[in-house]
Homo-oligomer: A and B are copies of this chain.
Amino acid sequence: MLDFTVSHRDGEARRGLLRLRHGEVHTPIFMPVGTYGAVKGMSPSALEEVGAQIILGNTFHLWLRPGTEVIEKFGGLHGFNGWNGPILTDSGGFQVWSLAALRNISEEGVRFASPINGDRLFLTPETSMQIQTALNADVVMIFDECTPYEIKGRIIEKDEAAASMQRSLRWARRSKSAFEALNNNNALFGIVQGGMHEDLRLESAQALDDIGFHGYAIGGLSVGEPKADMQRVLAFTAPRLAPHKPRYLMGVGTPEDVVEGVHQGVDMFDCVMPTRNARNGSLFTGRGDLRLRNARYRDDSSAIDPECRCYCCRNFSRAYVHHLQRVDEMLGAQLATIHNLHFYLDIMRQMREAIEAGCFQRWREDFLKKRAEGV
């Protein structure tokens, strides 16, 4: 239930089309994060208006609330939340891993106490596949272990990263078996781990390719490592993933990170940054980031980004959105979210056009230069 074609290449950057059960996705693409089945502050029609093609749902959160049995009654997440386009769900692995002291990882899976009501829960590759199948996600992610960069201030050893990566490979095999046993006819993506080590990353990528998935994600980046390490591992790993399958950089990142990812050949991205930062008053513009709650914007009649064509920038001033956020009006979060998501989705659109036109490098240099110049 997945078809992916790369129509243009410009350096490592790729322009592609991903066909999923609920529709087509033009890549490279950014996927807004809808943790609890809703992108915060955004109705499905607002998401369409900012150019969203595919959104992300969080298996861990939806499993706990409202619970799989409720969403199953609606035939899956699409029937429940009213978003008719493609949905990708994570495996829940990253969230249980993030519970830190509250969870216990064994070969079988992860035991943890529900942060909602304290219930003792157990998440395994098999249960993750069951939940994601019930959610009827267009793209299902394998259940893996996110290898940490450091533990209590100590950077982990290579043998620890290797052991973690090997466990993720075993879980990848169990995920695929469970996915097939469930007769799930959506897409299943593998996740490359291996910490900051090129040889481990390569081993992980090759082993996953041997198992065989519909696409490949790069996990375990943006977990506290220096930016240079992230870029080194990304630049090494992305071009080594199967060339005819979609590549997904998980949980990354700033606009610059996303542009760098495309530059290295990544097709798909997700991150809470545009939505979370919007609510905190941090707005992205083509001339750098803007701390909207700063008093300097109190009577600023210009748009958040004068070059932006989103609903917020076409209709409202910095002063108005500044005011709304200062008095805690939720419309302030909504308008800022519209702007930030539009910003991310619009740079993806610009990159798709630049790759088609064969001028991605010029676009990239121009974008990075203007962003660095500041507002």
Give chain A's interface residues, CB within 8 Å of chain B.
36-45, 61, 65-66, 69-70, 73-74, 80-82, 298-299, 301, 311, 315-317, 319-320, 322-324, 326-327, 329-335
Closest chain B CB from A67 CB (angstroms): 9
Whether the pair B80, A320 counts as a contact (CB closer than 8 A) is yes
Q: How many copies does the complex hold?
A: 2
Q: Is the CB of B74 within 8 A of A38?
A: no
3 smallest CB-CB distances across A and B, nearest first, come from A66-B323, A38-B331, A82-B315
| CB of A44, distance to nearest CB on chain B (Å) | 7
Complex CA distance for A39 and B324, rounded to whole angstroms: 11
Residue on B nearest A116 in the bound complex, by CB: B327
A74 engages B317 (CB within 8 Å) = yes
> Can you list 23 pairs linking A and B with CB atoms under 8 Å apart?
A36-B323, A36-B324, A36-B327, A36-B329, A38-B329, A38-B331, A40-B329, A40-B330, A41-B334, A43-B311, A43-B315, A61-B327, A65-B323, A65-B326, A66-B299, A66-B323, A70-B298, A70-B319, A73-B301, A73-B319, A74-B317, A80-B317, A82-B315
User: Which residues of the partner chain B approach A41 to less than 8 Å between Cβ atoms?
Assistant: 330-331, 334
CA distance A37 to B331 in the complex (A): 10
Q: How far is the CA of A61 from the CA of B327 in the complex (A)?
A: 10
Q: Is the CB of A43 within 8 A of B301?
A: no
Q: A333 contacts B330, CB within 8 Å?
A: yes
- CA A362 to CA B328, docked complex, whole Å: 44
Given A37-B323, A74-B301, list of 9 further CB < 8 A pairs? A36-B327, A36-B329, A41-B334, A44-B315, A66-B298, A66-B299, A66-B323, A80-B323, A330-B333
Residues of chain B within 8 A (CB-CB) of A311 are 43, 45
**CA A75 to CA B132, docked complex, whole Å:** 53
Residue picked from A81, A311, A326, A332, most chain B C-beta under 10 Å: A81
Candidate in A36, A61, A332 with the most chain B CB atoms within 10 angstroms: A36
Min C-beta distance of A324 to chain B, whole Å = 6
Cα–Cα distance between A73 and B74 once the two chains are bound (Å): 50
